[in-house]
Structures are given as C-alpha cells and as structure tokens.
Amino acid sequence: MRRVSTSGRILRVVLVVLFGLFFLFPLYAMADFSTRNLLRGGRTLQAWKNLVQDDALYAAIVISLLLAVFTVVLMLVILVPTMIWVRLRAPWARGMVEFLCLLSLTIPALVIVVGLRNVYLWVTYFLGESALTLTFIYVVLVLPFAYRALDGAVSAIDLRTLSEAARSLGAGWATTILRVVVPNIWSGILSAAFISIAVVLGEYTIASLSGYQTLQVQIVAIGKRDGPTSVAASLATLLFGFVLLLVLSLVTRGRRRGTLEAAVPTPAPAAQPGG
C-alpha cells in the first residue's frame, strides 16, 4: 500500500478542483441559459419540455444507440485481432497500420463524404437505405482513437509470452485472443469502446450530409427553433452520453485482470520489444 503524503493529497485535491472548475463551468453556463425565461425573466423548464415532446427524437435515439453498438462490435472485431497479429507475426506492417488508422482523422468529414458517394451507392444497393449502414464509415472515423487506446494497453502486456504460453497449452487462435489476451487488455478495450460510443453519438456532418436521421441530426433540427432549446438539446446529449457510459462502466465492473497475468512473471522492462 503506497503511502500518500499529506502534501501529495492536498496537491491532488487542488488539481481535481481546478480541472473540475474548468470543465464544469461552461456546462453550468449552458444550463443557466437553457432555463432562462426570455419573455418574463426568471427560470423556466420550457426548453427541456420541448425536447421530451418531440416524437422523432425517440426514433433517432434508438437508431443512434444501435449504431453505437454495431460500430463498437465491428471495430473490435476488426481491430483487436489485427493489432495482435501485427505485434506477434508482422511487425513490419506496424507503421502502415498506424498510418492507415490515423488517416481518417486527417481528412475532414466534409470532404470524405464526397468521396464516399459511390461507395455508399453500392452499400445501399446491397443493404438498403437504413441509417445503420453508417456503421462502416463510423468504424473508420473511430479507428484513430480506438487504435491509440488499444495500442497503449497492448504495449503494456507481454503479448508474446502470453500467447505462446496459451498456444503451447493447446489453445487455438480464437481461444488465445478471446480468453487470454482480451481480459488483459480490458482497460484498453473499454476505453476504445467508450470513445467510439461518444463519437457515434456526437457525429453530425456525415449523417446529415447523407440524409440520415440520427440523434445529432434530430437535435440540430430541434435546436433551430430557438436558442434555449438548442442549448438544452446539446446539454441533454452530453448528460445522456455521460449517464450511459457511467452505467456501462458500473455494469462491467466485474472484470478483473486475468489470472494468467499473475502466473506468468512479468519480465523486466529491458526485455520488452521497443515502442
């Protein structure tokens, strides 16, 4: 148990308070404006009531939540095995994978939508016009963040020893990945999942330019009516996302580090592969 000195504790509290003020003050200012009664002065919850009374909003919420789930699943299915494989067997591909993952961030959504036109014509030809087809482009959008979160976690474990130990005990690749590696990089997976959900819930440009009715698109449409309602809508999305992720993190509380990690002695840092 690490001893925490009093000065260390005070420093921590001061820092937490400073960060808290910086992040929460603008949110408070938004809440303040959204409850202002412009016609008569004083406070009113009319802006928030406007949100709840909109029917199209519920359909949009469902679509966005489904999109978030599909995006996270597809992203993990594509990215985790790829990153593991690159570490273990194809280190020469590492730079390429990293660059490709970062590429989507360098191109503004405004421009990528134009290039997506033909691709999505094919997608809608095969899969129909549902908003769920946005999953594919959302996975691409999420790649930079997810890659970085997963990379941090994967670098921190001794992947080679773990996987060789598992395979020497007779496990196939699927078992190795699912039951040995994943529990050890769980923190990275959760981070990647959380940021992906936040990206999907907050994405507006591509959904709007392609004509789909997702949560953000609906919120902008509502927000066009008046100032307080638009601010209430933005604040509501933030709170919604926050509560959703908090609940998710509580639900996945049971996950601990895999027992394999305790059994395999972690080597000294000098033996870790570089980078």
Among 248, 251, 273, 260, CA closest to 183: 260
**118-177: contacts with another protein (CB under 8 A):** 118-119, 121-122, 124-125, 129, 136-137, 139-140, 144-145, 148-153, 155-157
User: Does position 86 bind another protein by CB under 8 A?
Assistant: yes
* Residue from 10, 28, 160, 179 in contact with another protein (CB under 8 A): 28
Q: Which stretch binds another protein (CB under 8 A): 58-66, 97-105, 164-172, 175-183?
A: 97-105
User: Does position 259 bind another protein by CB under 8 A?
Assistant: no
What whole-number distance in Å separates Cα of residue 80 and Cα of residue 188? Answer: 10
The kind and range of the H/E element at 66 are helix 55-88
Please check whether residue 235 is in contact with residue 30, taking contact to mean a CB–CB distance below 8 angstroms. yes
User: Does position 29 bind another protein by CB under 8 A?
Assistant: yes
Q: Which stretch binds another protein (CB under 8 A): 13-21, 65-73, 159-167, 175-183?
A: 13-21
**Least spacing, CB of residue 199 vs another protein, in Å:** 5
What whole-number distance in Å separates Cα of residue 169 and Cα of residue 176? Answer: 10
Among 235, 211, 262, CA closest to 47: 235
- Three-state secondary-structure class, residue 11: helix
Give me the 216-245 binding string for another protein, x by CB under 8 A, dash otherwise. ----xx--xxxxx-xx--xx--x--xx--x
What whole-number distance in Å separates Cα of residue 209 and Cα of residue 195? Answer: 23
Residue whose token pair is 């202002």:
36
CB nearer another protein, residue 73 or residue 136:
136
Q: Which stretch binds another protein (CB under 8 A): 64-72, 162-170, 174-182, 200-208?
A: 200-208
* Residue from 50, 57, 63, 194 in contact with another protein (CB under 8 A): 194
* Residue from 62, 103, 127, 169 in contact with another protein (CB under 8 A): 103
Q: Which residues contact 56 (CB under 8 A, 6 or more apart)?
A: 213, 218, 221
User: Does position 97 bind another protein by CB under 8 A?
Assistant: yes
Helix, strand, coil percentages for the chain (3-state, nearest 5): 80, 0, 20
Please check whether residue 193 is in contact with residue 142, taking contact to mean a CB–CB distance below 8 angstroms. no
User: Does position 102 bind another protein by CB under 8 A?
Assistant: yes
Q: Which stretch binds another protein (CB under 8 A): 58-66, 160-168, 175-183, 199-207?
A: 199-207
CB nearer another protein, residue 163 or residue 234:
234
User: Does position 110 bind another protein by CB under 8 A?
Assistant: yes
And the tokens for 176? 């190795």
User: Does position 42 bind another protein by CB under 8 A?
Assistant: no
Among 213, 201, 207, CA closest to 57: 213
